[in-house]
Structure 1
Amino acid sequence: MERWDMAGEWQLESLGELCLLINRGIAPAYTEQGGILVINQKCIRDHRVSLAEAKRTGPKAKRVPEDRLLRPFDVLVNSTGVGTLGRVAQVKKLPEPATVDSHVTIVRPDPEKIYPRYLGFVLEFKQPEIEALAEGSTGQIELPRARLRELEVPVPPLPVQRAIAHILGTLDDKIELLRRMNETLEAMARALFKSW
């Protein structure tokens, strides 16, 4: 494996220059069944997207624009409210078509300019910086799209981006596996406890 000299400076580019899309989601009418899955701020925690709190668009909802349908490696950023603004998670895969509501921003990397998985890890790392971009009064804070577009991102050579994403991705996959194993063990312990 090649070694990379990280002492040299990497170019900084604005998020807006590196992405195909930086935009908020839709303002849907919700229903219990049918429709497209809508991810909200509750779904984004600990750099993970959980569908447990997701809702669905109602039958009278407008058609979701094509660019607002989520794609693998889109990065989702919570964009309103104290305590939730700035939380970041990258979409890995979804079981069905999905979008986000108007409180979440979709950041879609341009793979011609930046390795998508690398950008996801960078934005997770920059979460405190993203939180600091908020504007507004207490309880009514918002993340302006223009400020998010200006966020500077370190852009090493593409092979370095891939290497970083591979290492962090391997660790992230292991953490996810351990988290699921822990959930399974907790469920087994609860079942054993109930049977006594």
Structure 2
Amino acid sequence: MKLPRFFSVISAKLHIIMIATCAILLPTSGWLLIGKQLRVNASIWDYVHVYLGTITAILGLCFVVKCCIKGGWRQFFPWVVLDLSQFFADVKGLFKAQLPSSGGKGLLSIIEGVGLLLLAGVCISGLMWVLTQGDMEALTWRKYHVTLAEYFVTFVAVHMVLALVHVIEMIKNS
């Protein structure tokens, strides 16, 4: 089944879309005053976070699925099938001051897999927070969402550093 052109374009740009929306959602999240539901006098940032966050969560889950379909999950989660030879080779290489290669089933791919799990957790907990709005259960989902988002921010920082190292390595080797 072919996706309509609009969905094909979005699918091809999901990584960039996630970067752009996270660049808005993550730094502004500290400005929010949302508990179990949006307040009557909610700020623009509250509305932006809830509505842009809902769209981002749906697209984020699509991104996770896109990364994992057609066997892609084997790259990011090789430990599931106990295929850790490249991971151990990368770790050994670190002790010899060698940077791990990107791609494959090594250290960097496993780190990206952790990021995919965190992204899925942030997306699901955020959606559940919105869906349970007004109930006491919303506060539980809020707590999960905030905790997972804090871990995701740490992942994003690590991901950015590793991407920068990869670009520097590519420039150095060219």
TM-score (norm 1): 0.26
Q: Higher relative contact order by CA 8 Å / sep ≥ 6: 1 or 2?
A: 1
TM-score (norm 2): 0.29
